[in-house]
Structure 1
Amino acid sequence: MTEPNKASAPLKTSAFKIPGEGSSLAISVVTLLALLGLWTLTTSMGWIKPLFLPSPQAVFTQFYEYITGTANDKPLWEHFVASMLRVFGAFLLASLVAIPVGIAMGMSRVWRGIFDPPIELYRPLPPLAYLPLIIIWFGIDELPKVLLIFLSCFAPLAMAARSGMRSASQEQMNAAYSMGASYAQVIRHVVLPAALPEILVGMRVAIGFGWSTLVAAEMVAANVGLGQMVLNASNFLRTDIVIMGIIVIGVVAYGFDLLMRAVERRLVPWKGRM
């Protein structure tokens, strides 16, 4: 008997496959529907009192009243616009400052020695820990609210940019130098593109920190904002409004995360394919 031709034998592919976007979306939809069904069943059967967990119908009723302006409060769009301006204003400012700082830290020991101690000192602290100090220094106007969110976004952005600067391999830089590239061209065309994936991930993490700090920021004498709406409703044990506000904040934050994922796929299509 002759041996089979090994070259013509089909190659075995790995059984492990990463699910595509379509299957992930379907799983997410099914999960959300299952959670909604469990929530409806739990409240309709009376297993949990409405004070602790109102029904989806009660939460939707509050959402409708806030949307139409019939609630005993400012309409939802006023709270939404105020929070968006605070969160995204602070996030944009943090991106413009923290990313260059992180790049400088990744390129120079001097800048790393200057910025690393203060960032590592305040980074583990929860925003509520230094909120009183910010109030004492900057009062109770709009500045302390934006500053608190800015600080919560600054550290993850700077750390991501610093870590990303180390993503370019020495072989890539040597290849660029061998083709006559200058130091600035190597930074622009080799190092920064290699750092971009981690910077984008840092931006996604930072905006999440920004939204989580929103309620603490709007505790500072705010009369409008999603965080203020949730906090004020909790004082009156209006759990339906609290849950409605939490869902709105979560949906907006998740929508921005999806936008950042789309930007990431557009700017760094090679990520995860190498």
Structure 2
Amino acid sequence: MSSATRLQEAGTGAGKDLARRHPGAPSRIRRAALPLGSLLLFLVLWQLLAVSGTWSQTLVPPPAKVWDAFVAVSTTHDGVRGYNGTYLLEHLGISLRRIALGAGIGIAAGVVFGLLMGTVRWVRSLFEPWITFLRTLPPLAYFSLLIIWLGINEEPKITLLAVAAFPPVAVSTTTAVAAVPSSLVEAARALGASRWDVVRDVLVPSALPETLTGVRLAVGVAYSSLVAAELVNGLPGIGGMVRDAANYNNTPVVLVGIIAIGVSGLVIDGLLLWLERTGVPWRGRA
């Protein structure tokens, strides 16, 4: 046997041994490589489109200009602190605080109403049409009314995000509670469980997977309503920054804000997905 053949067999054996020790390594590499490859492809296509001359660079700036804008709004540049005196991270943090408060209120109210509508039939008949009506309304349809009622400070922004986040959680929780097998409820009552015990020990665990899905949808809806919520007096805030930059045709800053919203949304959705997998590990296995 030649030395080249022995080296080839040794390499093959080492690869098989590595695969046996780390059976999920190739799939993990593929899962990481595909998003990275799609990102690189997107950047290449973006650069080609920007330099093609089809549109002016005011409308489609190249990635390098967007990067320069990112650096400018993230640092003190030529004596100017970030954008409008506030760094990008601070804009994002203020908007995330608004989303946490507004979406948190909407999610809490949605869970409570979902449990009530799923367990009490007349409550569902009373409120379900109104929730459906609210769910079909775009945020801009009632934001002006909220400004008239609540002014231009934080109250209309928080209320808008709460109203936007409420319907998905209420609908998903109602559907999940109504779908709990009656045999489970009857068995719990036969064992002496009170109404509160049935809700706590039977209905809530059974509805939890769908409720967490509704929470993810609610956070997504609240995020999509962020720019609308910060249309008026939105600075500081990432949505307000995007809106203000758009008024001056500052496309690079607009793109920086959009990318910041999207990336932070991906991170938050990943955290919610992890919470769902941790909180309801039985989902998809029963």
* Number of residue pairs aligned between Structure 1 and Structure 2: 255
Q: 1:167–1:191: 8 Å Cα contact kept in structure 2? A: no
- Give the C-alpha shift of residue 99 in structure 1: 0.8
Q: Deviations over 1:10-36 (max 9, x none)?
A: xxxxxxxxxx77654443232222212
Aligned to 1:17: none
Structure 1 pair 189–132 and aligned structure 2 pair: CA distance change class (3 A): same
Comparing 38-47 with 237-246, greater Cα deviation is found at 38-47
Aligned to 1:37: 44
Comparing 240-249 with 66-75, greater Cα deviation is found at 66-75
Structure-2-length-normalised TM-score: 0.83
Aligned to 1:192: 204
Comparing 153-162 with 38-47, greater Cα deviation is found at 38-47
Structure 1 pair 136–267 and aligned structure 2 pair: CA distance change class (3 A): same
The SS at the match of 1:154 is helix
- The correspondence for 1:140, drawn from 152, 163, 170, is 152
Stretches of structure 1 lacking an aligned partner (at least 5 in a row): 1-19
Whole-angstrom distance in 2 between the partners of 1:80 and 1:247: 11
Aligned to 1:55: 62
- The correspondence for 2:35, drawn from 10, 14, 28, is 28
Aligned to 1:150: 162
Q: Deviations over 1:204-236 (max 9, x none)?
A: 111111111111111122331111110111111
Q: 2:107–2:218: 8 Å Cα contact kept in structure 1? A: no
Structure-1-length-normalised TM-score: 0.86
Aligned to 1:76: 88
Structure 1 pair 153–72 and aligned structure 2 pair: CA distance change class (3 A): closer
Q: 2:107–2:162: 8 Å Cα contact kept in structure 1? A: no
- The correspondence for 1:64, drawn from 66, 71, 76, is 71
Aligned to 2:176: 164
- Give the C-alpha shift of residue 237 in structure 1: 0.7
- The correspondence for 1:130, drawn from 142, 151, 174, is 142
The SS at the match of 1:99 is helix
Aligned to 2:12: none
- Give the C-alpha shift of residue 254 in structure 1: 0.9
- The correspondence for 1:261, drawn from 257, 270, 273, is 273
The SS at the match of 1:165 is helix
1:98 maps onto 2:105 in alignment: no
- Give the C-alpha shift of residue 113 in structure 1: 2.7
Aligned to 1:16: none
Stretches of structure 2 lacking an aligned partner (at least 5 in a row): 1-26
- Give the C-alpha shift of residue 105 in structure 1: 0.6
Q: Deviations over 1:162-199 (max 9, x none)?
A: 11212322343344445554443332222211101111
Whole-angstrom distance in 2 between the partners of 1:53 and 1:211: 24
- Percent identical: 37
Aligned to 2:20: none
Which letter does structure 2 place at the counterpart of 1:131?
F
Whole-angstrom distance in 1 between the partners of 2:108 and 2:72: 38
- Give the C-alpha shift of residue 120 in structure 1: 1.9
Structure 1 pair 82–96 and aligned structure 2 pair: CA distance change class (3 A): same
